[in-house]
């Protein structure tokens, strides 16, 4: 269970109404039962239920069961698409170990308002489901140009460019490039020529193909993370 509270030996952890409903109502846990907790910072802890009520409860941390497992530093930046597909991207990126997820508004992005809190809740659920001890932060949506204006050039960009489909453009595997990375996936309409030219001029951006077929953006996000993990991740 994910909690927004420090974890440590003997630490008492309060539960909110929603968590109490889930734990005591849905999962049928009760006083003296053990629960595994994580908060994205202190690893995983076994905690015992001390109080169980309808509106809340209290857990007491007993012992750490796993240290914090930080995945390699990889951001996923993607142009938001339809709601359900955007949710899918956030869920899969969390499962695959993205450290930060950034919705990026490109010229051809055609999506409604991005609800950051909803997407963050999806990331928490995905981390709970896959037994991770880390939850990626979902950032506020940002325009691609603004993002690139303030870019820290020490971070390499894996720019997934559908225009290269079928070309021989893979991810660099040189050991010098085991730096922080960010994957960039475009919207259903792809990147504009102006965006492509800007990205192509950046020394720290590497245009990469994901194969000869044009993938849907959600498929491309999962494929790109897999390619990166295979080449540079652990």
Question: Minimum distance from CB of 98 to ligand SAM (Å)?
Answer: 16
| Among 210, 225, 227, 232, contact with ligand SAM (rule: CB under 6 A) | 210
| Among 75, 181, 191, 228, contact with ligand SAM (rule: CB under 6 A) | 191
| Among 8, 69, 214, 230, contact with ligand SAM (rule: CB under 6 A) | 214
Question: Minimum distance from CB of 3 to ligand SAM (Å)?
Answer: 36
Nearer to ligand SAM, 94 or 209 (CB): 209
How many C-beta neighbours within 10 Å does residue 226 have?
14
Residue 171 near ligand SAM by CB under 6 A: no
203 alpha-carbon distance from chain centroid:
25
Residue 124 near ligand SAM by CB under 6 A: no
> x/- site string to ligand SAM, residues 81 to 100, per CB under 6 A?
--------------------
Please count the residues of this chain forming the interface with ligand SAM, following the rule CB under 6 A. Answer: 20
Interface with ligand SAM (CB under 6 A): 160-162, 164-165, 185-186, 188-191, 209-211, 213-217, 220
């Amino acid at each position: 269970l994910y909690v927004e509270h420090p974890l440590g030996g003997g630490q008492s952890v309060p539960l909110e109404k929603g968590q109490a409903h889930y734990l005591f109502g849905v999962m049928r846990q009760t006083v003296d039962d053990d629960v595994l907790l994580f908060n994205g910072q202190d690893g995983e802890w076994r905690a015992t239920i001390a109080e169980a009520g309808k509106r809340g409860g209290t857990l007491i941390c007993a012992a750490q069961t796993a240290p914090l497992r930080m995945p390699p530093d990889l951001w996923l930046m993607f142009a938001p698409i339809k709601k359900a597909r955007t949710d899918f991207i956030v869920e899969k990126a969390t499962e695959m170990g993205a450290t930060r997820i950034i919705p990026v508004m490109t010229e051809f992005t055609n999506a409604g308002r991005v609800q950051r809190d909803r997407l963050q809740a999806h990331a928490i659920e995905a981390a709970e489901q896959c037994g991770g001890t880390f939850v990626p932060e979902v950032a506020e949506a940002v325009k691609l140009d603004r993002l690139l204006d303030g870019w820290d050039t020490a971070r390499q960009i894996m720019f997934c460019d559908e225009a290269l489909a079928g070309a021989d453009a893979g991810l660099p595997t040189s050991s010098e490039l085991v730096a922080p990375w960010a994957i960039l996936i475009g919207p259903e309409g792809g990147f504009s020529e102006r965006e492509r030219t800007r990205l192509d001029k950046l020394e720290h951006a590497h245009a990469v193909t994901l194969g000869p077929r044009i993938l849907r953006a959600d498929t491309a996000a999962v494929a790109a993370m897999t390619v990166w993990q295979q080449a540079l991740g652990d």
